[in-house]
Chain A
Amino acid sequence: MQAFTTLTGIAAPLPKANVDTDQIIPARFLKSISRLGFGKNLFANFRYREDGSENPDFVLNQEPYRKAEILIAFENFGCGSSREHAPWALLDFGIRCVIAPDFADIFHNNCFKNGILPVRLPKEVCAQLMEDAKLGANARITVDLEREVVVRPNGEEIPFKIDPLRRHLLLNGLDDIGQTLQHVASIDSFEAKQKAAQPWLYA
Chain B
Amino acid sequence: MSAQKPRTLFDKIWDAHVVETLPDGTALLYIDLHLTHEVTTPQAFDGLRTAGRRVRRPDATLAVVDHNIATDDSRRTGIVDPESRLQVETLEKNVVEFGVPYIPLLDDRQGIVHVIGPELGRSLPGMTIVCGDSHTSTHGAMGALAFGIGTSEVEHVLATQTLLQKPAKNMRISVDGNLAFGCSAKDIVLAIIGRIGTAGGTGHVIEYAGDAIRALDMAGRMTVCNMSIEGGARAGMVAPDQTTYDYIAKTPNGPKGAKLARAIEWWKTLPSDAAAHFDTELRLDAHAIAPQVTWGTNPEAVLPITGTVPNPADVEDEAKRAQMERMVQYMGLTPGQRLQDLKVDVVFIGSCTNSRIEDIRAAASIAKGRKVADGVRAMVVPGSGLVKKQAEAEGLDRILKEAGFEWREAGCSMCLGMNPDKLTPGQRSASTSNRNFEGRQGPGGRTHLLSPAMAAAAAVAGHLADVRDYQPKETM
Binding site for B on A (CB under 8 A): 15-18, 20, 22-23, 26-28, 30-35, 45, 50, 74-76, 79-84, 87, 102, 104-106, 109-110, 113-114, 163-165, 176-177, 180-181, 183-184, 186-187, 190-191, 194, 197-203
B residues less than 8 Å from A80 (CB atoms): 134, 229, 435, 437
The answer to whether A186 touches B20, judged by C-beta atoms less than 8 angstroms apart, is yes
Chain A binder among B143-151, B331-339, B355-363, B391-399: B143-151
Could you list 26 examples of A-B contacts with CB < 8 Å? A18-B298, A18-B323, A26-B417, A26-B439, A31-B39, A31-B86, A34-B42, A34-B43, A45-B439, A74-B319, A82-B148, A82-B149, A83-B40, A84-B151, A102-B202, A110-B153, A164-B24, A180-B156, A184-B160, A186-B20, A187-B30, A187-B162, A190-B30, A191-B161, A194-B30, A203-B60
With A79-B199, A83-B40 in contact, do A200 and B83 touch (Cβ < 8 Å)?
Answer: no
The answer to whether B435 touches A183, judged by C-beta atoms less than 8 angstroms apart, is no
User: Which of A35, A76, A102, A165 is close to B22, meaning CB atoms less than 8 Å apart?
Assistant: A165
The answer to whether A31 touches B84, judged by C-beta atoms less than 8 angstroms apart, is yes
Given pairs A27-B417, A180-B156, A183-B20, 11 additional interface contacts (CB within 8 A): A18-B298, A28-B417, A31-B39, A32-B83, A80-B229, A81-B416, A84-B151, A163-B24, A186-B19, A186-B28, A187-B162
B residues less than 8 Å from A184 (CB atoms): 160
B residues less than 8 Å from A74 (CB atoms): 319
Closest to B85 in A: A31
Complex interface residues of chain B between 401 and 439 (CB less than 8 A to chain A) = 416-418, 422, 425, 435, 437-439
The answer to whether B127 touches A201, judged by C-beta atoms less than 8 angstroms apart, is yes
A residues less than 8 Å from B216 (CB atoms): none
* B262 within 8 A of partner (CB): yes
The answer to whether B416 touches A27, judged by C-beta atoms less than 8 angstroms apart, is yes
The answer to whether A22 touches B440, judged by C-beta atoms less than 8 angstroms apart, is yes
The answer to whether A20 touches B90, judged by C-beta atoms less than 8 angstroms apart, is no
The answer to whether A113 touches B22, judged by C-beta atoms less than 8 angstroms apart, is no
User: Which of A79, A83, A201 is close to B32, meaning CB atoms less than 8 Å apart?
Assistant: A201
Taken together as a complex, chains A and B put the C-alpha atoms of A33 and B298 apart, in Å, by: 29
Interface residues in B, total, Cβ within 8 A: 76
Closest to A22 in B: B437
Q: How far is the CB of A143 from chain B (nearest CB, A)?
A: 22
Q: How far is the CB of A91 from chain B (nearest CB, A)?
A: 12
Q: How far is the CB of B123 from chain A (nearest CB, A)?
A: 12
A residues less than 8 Å from B68 (CB atoms): 31
Q: How far is the CB of B98 from chain A (nearest CB, A)?
A: 15
Q: How far is the CB of B27 from chain A (nearest CB, A)?
A: 11
Taken together as a complex, chains A and B put the C-alpha atoms of A18 and B416 apart, in Å, by: 18
The answer to whether B439 touches A110, judged by C-beta atoms less than 8 angstroms apart, is no
B residues less than 8 Å from A17 (CB atoms): 319, 323
The answer to whether B152 touches A113, judged by C-beta atoms less than 8 angstroms apart, is yes
* B76 within 8 A of partner (CB): no
* B345 within 8 A of partner (CB): no
Taken together as a complex, chains A and B put the C-alpha atoms of A76 and B229 apart, in Å, by: 12
Taken together as a complex, chains A and B put the C-alpha atoms of A53 and B28 apart, in Å, by: 47
Taken together as a complex, chains A and B put the C-alpha atoms of A196 and B434 apart, in Å, by: 39
Complex interface residues of chain B between 149 and 168 (CB less than 8 A to chain A) = 149-153, 155-156, 159-162, 164, 166
Complex interface residues of chain B between 34 and 54 (CB less than 8 A to chain A) = 39-40, 42-43, 46-47, 51, 53
With A28-B417, A33-B42, A82-B40 in contact, do A187 and B152 touch (Cβ < 8 Å)?
Answer: no
The answer to whether A18 touches B198, judged by C-beta atoms less than 8 angstroms apart, is yes
B residues less than 8 Å from A87 (CB atoms): 150
Interface centre among B24, B202, B444 (most CB of A within 10 A): B202
Q: How far is the CB of A161 from chain B (nearest CB, A)?
A: 13
Q: How far is the CB of A147 from chain B (nearest CB, A)?
A: 19
User: Which of B28, B298, B416 is close to A183, meaning CB atoms less than 8 Å apart?
Assistant: B28
* B458 within 8 A of partner (CB): no
B residues less than 8 Å from A33 (CB atoms): 42-43, 46, 86-87, 90
